[in-house]
Amino acid sequence: MGKKVIIGMSGGVDSSVAAILLKEQGYDVEGLFMRNWDVSINNDYLGNPTLNNNICPQEQDYNDAVKVCEEIGIKLHRIDFVKEYWDNVFEYFLDELKKGRTPNPDIMCNKYIKFDCFKKEALRLGADYIATGHYAKMKDGYLCRSKDQNKDQTYFLSQLNHEQLENVLFPLGDIDKTEVRKIALENNLTTAKKKDSTGICFIGERNFKEFLKNYLPTKHGDIVNIETNEKMGEHIGLMYYTIGQRKGLDVGGTKDRMFVVGKDLNKNILYVALGEDNEYLLSDSCIVEDINFNCDIRPDKCTAKFRYRAPDYPVTLEYLDDGNILVRYDNIKSVTPGQACVFYQDEKCIGGGIIKEVMKNDEKLWYLL
């Protein structure tokens, strides 16, 4: 029998195929399903008419994981990380929204749950390795982009440290999504045609606004044209908007394309400006905090992503005395406080941090929190 691998089974097609590939490679494979959200305690489930009998999506995922593990002949374990998730991911998410920032809880879920709590449980179960269905690679000890550049998920793994990446397998790193679907169909898996999950990890495809009303008060306020100081409409709460957003703005009476460019938390104002190339969306530097490097590379120049699936941009890094990094770049649109800035050296994802302040000409943009 080969070395033992515990793979995170999410009930989706990616982890299903990853488990098959590991078996084919001769590993002793077992699955582990994580329950991170308690619908009975957290009164957030609003129903999903696309599911049979209105089953909670998480329970549907578990049922699918059970079926897949039966189909491919591996044991499935189940564990609850509800408290850990609430303490380390959900509270962070709420705190960031209260500050008017745009958080990325999936990154914190990987840092604190999937590659911490999960890994500890896998070791307790006797694992030599852990595995997930992420599109990424480990190559010569470095975290690297996956073959499928459109699905690459190294951005979400940027807060993992070197120790967390040890003895980790990413079976999907060298294949693309089309091949994943093909393998699932060839093996007649329950998840072969299952739709990919979208949205924030714990919210899924629920109505985001209705979900948040359970946890944060909704405070309506003015939408103001930052160039003319004219009131354009009313927003439903600053937490529902992010920099660069165009859809969902209630700016009646104009056919102009207005974009969110900033927020004033004290005055509860959402600032907008005309056109996607307006100057208020542009910046040339930012301060990045909560820095994490997963290897010994500390470049002065590299590339960076400021959002998932955004292009790479050339950047210069200045290491500050307080442990933060000043990231300089040519004019880039919609760099947003709370989002991750992730550093790359060619194919290697070497780490990253969280955007704290956004600047232009070495001055903080007053309309960005």
Q: Residues 234-252: pLDDT tens digits?
A: 999 999 999 999 998 988 7
Name the residue type at position 148.
D
Return the closest-CA partner of residue 191 out of 34, 343, 72. 72
| Domain 283-364, CATH | 2.40.30.10
Provide CATH 2.30.30.280 ranges for the chain. Answer: 217-274
Q: Given this model, what pLDDT does residue 50 score?
A: 42
- At 24, which helix (H) or strand (E)? helix 13-24
For 278-334, the pLDDT digits (tens) are 999 999 999 999 999 999 999 999 999 999 999 999 999 999 999 999 999 999 999
What is the β-pairing status of strands 301-305 and 340-345? antiparallel
| Domain 4-186, CATH | 3.40.50.620
Contact 285, 359 (CB under 8 A): yes
Residues known to be catalytic: 109, 201
Provide CATH 2.40.30.10 ranges for the chain. Answer: 283-364
| CA–CA dist 336, 355 (Å, integer) | 7
DSSP strands (E only) in 171-268 = 221-225, 231-235, 258-264
Provide CATH 3.40.50.620 ranges for the chain. Answer: 4-186
Instruction: Report whether pLDDT(340) > 60.
Output: yes
CA angle, 120 as apex, 77 and 143 as ends, to 5°?
Answer: 105
In this structure, which CATH number among 2.30.30.280, 2.40.50.100, 2.40.50.140, 3.50.50.60 belongs to the domain 217-274? 2.30.30.280
Instruction: Report whether pLDDT(220) > 90.
Output: yes
For 162-191, the pLDDT digits (tens) are 999 999 999 999 999 999 999 999 999 999
* Residue spans of alpha helices (H) in the chain: 13-24, 57-72, 82-85, 91-98, 105-109, 118-124, 177-186, 208-212
| CA–CA dist 67, 191 (Å, integer) | 9
